[in-house]
Structure 1
Amino acid sequence: MKTFYDFHLHWYPGYQIDRFGERLQEVTRNYSSVVGVVYDTELVDCWNDFLIATQFLPLKNVESSDSRFYGEMEEDGTRIVFYRGVQAVSEENVELLVIGEVPDTGPLEKMVSVALSIGSAVLLPWGFGKWRGKRGQLILREFRQSRPRLFPSDSANRPNRGGGKAFLAGVFAKLPGCYRLDGSDPLPMENDEIFSFTLGMEGPEPQDFPEDAASFAERLPQLASELKSVEGRRVGRESVSRQVRLRKNGLALQPPHIPTVPGTSDAGDIESATDRYARRFSGSVGMFFLDRQAELTLKLAELERFPKGEVLDIGGGHTQLAPHFLEKGCSVSIFASDDSCRKRPDRILGAWNYRFATGDLLHLPYPDNSFEVVTLFRLVPHETDWEALIEEAARVSRNTVILDYPDIRSFNVFSRMLFLVKKAVEKDTRDYELFTRKKIAAAMEEAGLRDLRWRPQFFLPMALYRMVGSGRFAKILESFFNTLGLTQLFGSPVIVGGRKKASE
């Protein structure tokens, strides 16, 4: 008797357990046991949702834990086992399927090394467009090192027939001889639960199944040597068609915005403090964006005027500015909506190098005039009562308030069309409000700020530079537009700094 393994499963909101159950029963007709690995993602707790759904499968002798599910089909006793994994993403935007303890986000090389050193198994799954170019070379470099518990993983989304096979495979076809652990990889689309088990591995029936995911990871090197891939016919046009459908009709993985109680913050900084959000600024293009932002912000801060250098970064869990202020010798405080927002600052800055506090962004727990400089980045467009946010920032500032916002006097005038471009490139981008300079100026002046200085950042939309993927190209082009004066007239996002009226 044989066992079927699917090493790449997800359970997304909207999936139907009866449809999944029908697909599972089709597989059990040919196998005495079925094993799958269900991966949580950054946006979805797939495992716990999956455990709830399995209550409606025709199973007996069910046992479940934090990392393993076991049951037997009522009809024929076929053993069904699922293990929990986590889909992580490196700074280079390469996906890792981790079975066992998950490493912190970082460069691919470091994440793989740390995961393997703590006994986890790592699968690097084929990705649409991600196994080519520089990322493809990074992946190839990892597999050139002979290490147990590191496996390539084919996906049922990759064509293995037809004209698109070689092009879409990327470096997958160049991998040295190492054992693969393949899986179906159902996508967050309606009815895609039936895509489960369309690709996998088969091998001899094991005597027993490990009791948890960590033990399963430990057994994988030996198990992989006994498995062979079970492939269907997949052609290039089907692969491309699935990606088009995903981008047009993918399931909404983020919960809808729920209005907060009037007078309290929308807590938009929680999203911008995630590693997922930070990956929008990875690579040479992201570095160019952040360097430009820091350059303009530090000039507006005029730190030479303030020897104490006390800076409050409201919603600064993104750590885009705090490192630069620390380098200048400033005393940095970050105020955020939730404790989860300190993960990146603790890792990047060191918990001992800055102060952190949480609460309502519209009601800061500081006396008036507590800080020389107060910054508000990645916040104003995502806050319903943004005028109150600016007013509160001005209250606790002794001298300067600096914020950024998307200006409608730019390519943002085509915001709805550009939002679709951003979503195609960034996948989980947030919607946002646009502003005029007059509107921002009125709010800042009402808050007691004067001498407003406007610093537009980029003439062309950031999403377009991300599509090109070259920081050098972006820098050259933006320098040209800046020389012509187009950036000052029509650039966005805009950084604006204002001084307190009492500040001289």
Structure 2
Amino acid sequence: MVTSKNLTQPIWADAHVHIYDCYDLEQFLNAALKNFNTTAQNSGYSQAETALLFLTETSKDHYFQKLIQSIQSDGNSNLMLKDWSFLGTQENCSVYAKHSTGQGIFIFAGRQVVTVEDLEVLALLTAEEFSDRLPIETTIQQVVSKGSIPLIPWGFGKWMGERGTIISRLLEQKESLPLFLGDNGGRPTFWSQPVYFKQAKERGLKILPGTDPLPFASESWRPGSFGFAIQGTIDFNKPAQSIKEILLDPNTQLQCYGTLETPLRFIRNQIAMQLVKRMRKKG
């Protein structure tokens, strides 16, 4: 079990993360810690004392459950990693990955839900499951009813035309449901910031950036490299509840960090993803 301590300090977070089976878990965690530390050092800190990864798994992916199942009754992990161990918390949606140096990263469960409009809704900070192919308003309401935070992430070509109109309508609704938009480290440098980000900010809604790494082994270095920083207090036994309260606080200020994708890498990744989709259809 994680030792309880409450600290008001900078918190570094990546709000859109996947752990794919093609990743080496040790390399993935090493890269994330390195990225968080680099960002913290660029901001004048010696290291990232509190770092967070928000998993956003599809209905076919359950890597977070592997982490939970690896934790034994004494609160420690039986995963045989060289420099990392996993500790349980008092929540079913959070674990603490601890490095041999003493540093660590909180990893939160979450889902990536596809709506009938072919938009995505991320359900953050939850171990609950959600059904795909429902209307986006219904999906958001279900996510909120389960105590989760709904986030609509930017995706290549997904916020255009009729679907863009849907995003705009959601942002203008007077209902007081919490809603976030998500920027994506895979957005290319030549792609201007979506107009809906400005609309969201005018409505007092927050933009949570994340890396959204792709299912290629070469992408395992990206987590933690694109995200946001906030100030707050984390209860190390109930970190998901703590970060939820911080994010829902209208007075919380976010500082985004990281660089967007280069045009060449963006084009290469898009071609690779199309090949992956075709292989999946054939399978």
Among residues 203, 208, 217, which one is paired with 2:230 in the alignment?
203
How far did residue 234 of structure 1 move?
3.0
Whether 2:34 is the aligned partner of 1:12: answer: no
SS at match of 1:201: strand
Letter in 2 for 1:110: T
Among residues 190, 195, 199, which one is paired with 2:217 in the alignment?
190
Distance 1:47 1:223, change over 3 A: farther
Distance 1:226 1:102, change over 3 A: farther
Whether 2:68 is the aligned partner of 1:39: answer: no
CA contact (8 A) 1:96 1:124 kept: yes
How far did residue 67 of structure 1 move?
1.2
Unpaired runs of 5+ in structure 2?
A: 1-8, 41-47, 72-76
Letter in 2 for 1:242: N
Match of 2:154 in 1: 126
Match of 2:136 in 1: 108
Whether 2:151 is the aligned partner of 1:156: answer: no
Question: Residue deviations 1:216-252, cap 9 Å, x none?
Answer: 545421288232111214344432321112223x4xx
Match of 1:73 in 2: 99
Q: In 2, Cα distance between the equivalents of 1:151 and 1:25? A: 25
Whether 2:239 is the aligned partner of 1:239: answer: no
SS at match of 2:185: coil
Q: In 2, Cα distance between the equivalents of 1:224 and 1:121? A: 17
Letter in 2 for 1:119: G
How far did residue 104 of structure 1 move?
3.7
Distance 1:116 1:205, change over 3 A: closer
Look at both structures and tell me which one has the larger radius of gyration over its CA atoms: 1
Match of 1:225 in 2: 252
CA contact (8 A) 1:102 1:120 kept: no
Match of 2:6 in 1: none
Q: In 2, Cα distance between the equivalents of 1:245 and 1:224? A: 41
Distance 1:61 1:112, change over 3 A: closer
CA contact (8 A) 1:2 1:203 kept: yes
More helix by share: 1
Q: In 1, Cα distance between the equivalents of 2:196 and 2:264? A: 19
SS at match of 2:235: coil
CA contact (8 A) 1:183 1:199 kept: yes
Match of 1:136 in 2: 164
Q: In 2, Cα distance between the equivalents of 1:26 and 1:215? A: 24
CA contact (8 A) 1:119 1:218 kept: no
Letter in 2 for 1:198: S
Provide the aligned length of Structure 1 versus Structure 2: 250
Unpaired runs of 5+ in structure 1?
A: 251-422, 432-504
Alignment TM-score, normalising by the size of structure 1: 0.45
Letter in 1 for 2:172: R
SS at match of 1:196: coil
Q: In 2, Cα distance between the equivalents of 1:154 and 1:233? A: 10
Question: Residue deviations 1:396-429, cap 9 Å, x none?
Answer: xxxxxxxxxxxxxxxxxxxxxxxxxxx45xx842
Q: In 1, Cα distance between the equivalents of 2:65 and 2:199? A: 34
CA contact (8 A) 2:186 2:260 kept: no
Q: In 2, Cα distance between the equivalents of 1:218 and 1:102? A: 22
Q: In 2, Cα distance between the equivalents of 1:78 and 1:223? A: 30
SS at match of 2:165: helix
Letter in 2 for 1:63: G
Distance 1:246 1:112, change over 3 A: same
Q: In 2, Cα distance between the equivalents of 1:46 and 1:241? A: 26
Q: In 2, Cα distance between the equivalents of 1:67 and 1:230? A: 25
SS at match of 1:195: coil
Whether 2:191 is the aligned partner of 1:165: answer: yes
Distance 1:205 1:225, change over 3 A: closer
Alignment TM-score, normalising by the size of structure 2: 0.76
SS at match of 1:175: helix
Whether 2:261 is the aligned partner of 1:429: answer: no
Q: In 2, Cα distance between the equivalents of 1:50 and 1:133? A: 40
Distance 1:239 1:144, change over 3 A: farther
Distance 1:190 1:24, change over 3 A: closer
Give the % identical residues: 24
Distance 1:122 1:224, change over 3 A: farther
SS at match of 2:150: strand
CA contact (8 A) 2:197 2:207 kept: no
How far did residue 102 of structure 1 move?
4.8
CA contact (8 A) 2:12 2:229 kept: yes
Letter in 2 for 1:222: D
